[in-house]
C-alpha cells in the first residue's frame, strides 16, 4: 500500500534527526516498517528514524518510533523531546506538564516558552536502573548494562574504534534484542560520548544513552548533577526527576523543514 498524505516535517534534537508522521494532523502511511526503511535510506532526508504521533485509547499523546532498519525501539529520549515540542507547536497540548505514551510506558514532558518566545522542552525517562557489570574482551574490559526503558551498555575508557566495537557489542549474543552502546571519555565539566544505536548505527546523539551515561557517571563519582553530556550533535543536560527514580533530559529542538512527501 503506498504512502498517502505524509508530511515532510523533519525535526532535530541535538543531532538526532527524525521524520514526523503526524496522524493527528492527517498523515498516514501504509507499512510503517517499509516506510521507515525507505525514507531513512533516502540520502536527501538524512534521518535516523521515523516518529509516529497519535493518541492512545486513554487519549494521551503516543509516540511510536521506527529505526533505520525498520525495528521499533521501546523509547527514545530525543524523539520524545521532538514530539513534545511539536505537540505544543501544533496546538495539541498547552505549555506545562503532560504525559506521553511509549512502548516502555508513560513519561512526562515539560514545555515552556523563553523570554524570546522560543519553546524549551525536557522529558523524563525512567526509572533508570543499573543492571550489572559486563565483562568484555577488547580495549575496554568492563562495561555497565543500564535499563532506561531500552537497553544500554556504557563503556568508560580510552580511544576505542567505535566503527568496529559498536556493531560488535550491539550484536553481542548476551543481548538477544540488541543493545545501544555508549563510548565515554571523561573531561573537565562534561562527558564526551559517541553512540552506536541498535537498528541505526552511529548517531550524532542519543537521549536515553545520555541518561544512561549520566546515571553511571554519578554512581562512580565521575560527575555530579546536573550532568552535561557532550555528543557530536550537541550537549544534553541530565538531572534528577522525582518521578520513579527517573531523569530529566533537556536539550535543543529545531525544525529542519516542512513540506509533503
Handedness of CA 127, 135, 238, 201 (dihedral sign): negative
Helix runs in 75-230, H state only = 77-89, 162-170, 207-219
Query: Is 241 marked active-site?
Result: no
Structural contact between residues 35 and 72, judged by C-beta atoms closer than 8 angstroms = no
Question: Can you give the pLDDT at residue 1?
Answer: 37
192 beta partners: 185, 230
Three-class SS of residue 131?
strand
Mean pLDDT for back-to-back runs of 10 residues, the chain (261 residues): 66 96 94 95 92 95 97 96 97 97 95 92 94 92 96 91 95 96 89 96 97 97 96 97 87 85 54
Helix runs in the chain, H state only = 32-41, 77-89, 162-170, 207-219
Residue 160 CA to residue 168 CA, distance in Å, equals: 12
Domains in the chain, start-ordered, CATH in brackets? 9-122+250-257 (3.10.310.10), 129-240 (3.10.310.10)
Which listed residue (6, 82, 206, 211) is catalytic? 206
Whose grid coordinates read 511539536? Answer: 86
71 beta partners: none
Which listed residue (6, 76, 82, 148) is catalytic? 76
Residue 117 dihedral angles phi and psi, to the nearest 5°: 70, 15
Query: Is 76 marked active-site?
Result: yes
Residue 141 CA to residue 244 CA, distance in Å, equals: 31
Question: Can you give the pLDDT at residue 7?
Answer: 77
Whose grid coordinates read 550484536? Answer: 171
Q: What is the DSSP letter of 25?
A: G
Question: Can you give the pLDDT at residue 115?
Answer: 85
Residue 85 CA to residue 122 CA, distance in Å, equals: 9
Amino acid at each position: 500500500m503506498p504512502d498517502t498524505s505524509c508530511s515532510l516535517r523533519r525535526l532535530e534534537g541535538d543531532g538526532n534527526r527524525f521524520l514526523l508522521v503526524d496522524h493527528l494532523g492527517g498523515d498516514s502511511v501504509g507499512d510503517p516498517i517499509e516506510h521507515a526503511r525507505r525514507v531513512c535510506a533516502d540520502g536527501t532526508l538524512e534521518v535516523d528514524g521515523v516518529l509516529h504521533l497519535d493518541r492512545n485509547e486513554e487519549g494521551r499523546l503516543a509516540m511510536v518510533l521506527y529505526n533505520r532498519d525498520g525495528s521499533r525501539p521501546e523509547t527514545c529520549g530525543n524523539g520524545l523531546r521532538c514530539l513534545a515540542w511539536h505537540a505544543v507547536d501544533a496546538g495539541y497540548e498547552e505549555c506545562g506538564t503532560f504525559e506521553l505514551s511509549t512502548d516502555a510506558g508513560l513519561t512526562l514532558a515539560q514545555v515552556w516558552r523563553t523570554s524570546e518566545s522560543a519553546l524549551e522542552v525536557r522529558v523524563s525517562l525512567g526509572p533508570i536502573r543499573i543492571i550489572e557489570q559486563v565483562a568484555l574482551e577488547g580495549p575496554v574490559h568492563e562495561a555497565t548494562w543500564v535499563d532506561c526503558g531500552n537497553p544500554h551498555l556504557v563503556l568508560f575508557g580510552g580511544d576505542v574504534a567505535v566503527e568496529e566495537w559498536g556493531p560488535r557489542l550491539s550484536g553481542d549474543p548476551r543481548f538477544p534484542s540488541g543493545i545501544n552502546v555508549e563510548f565515554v571519555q571523561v573531561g573537565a565539566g562534561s562527558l564526551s560520548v559517541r553512540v552506536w544505536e541498535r537498528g541505526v548505527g552511529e548517531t550524532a546523539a542519543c537521549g536515553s544513552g545520555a541518561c544512561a551515561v549520566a546515571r553511571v557517571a554519578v554512581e562512580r563519582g565521575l560527575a555530579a548533577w546536573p550532568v552535561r553530556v557532550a555528543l557530536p550533535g550537541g550537549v544534553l543536560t541530565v538531572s534528577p526527576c522525582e518521578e520513579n527514580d527517573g531523569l530529566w533530559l533537556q536539550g535543543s529542538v529545531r525544525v529542519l523543514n516542512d513540506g509533503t512527501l
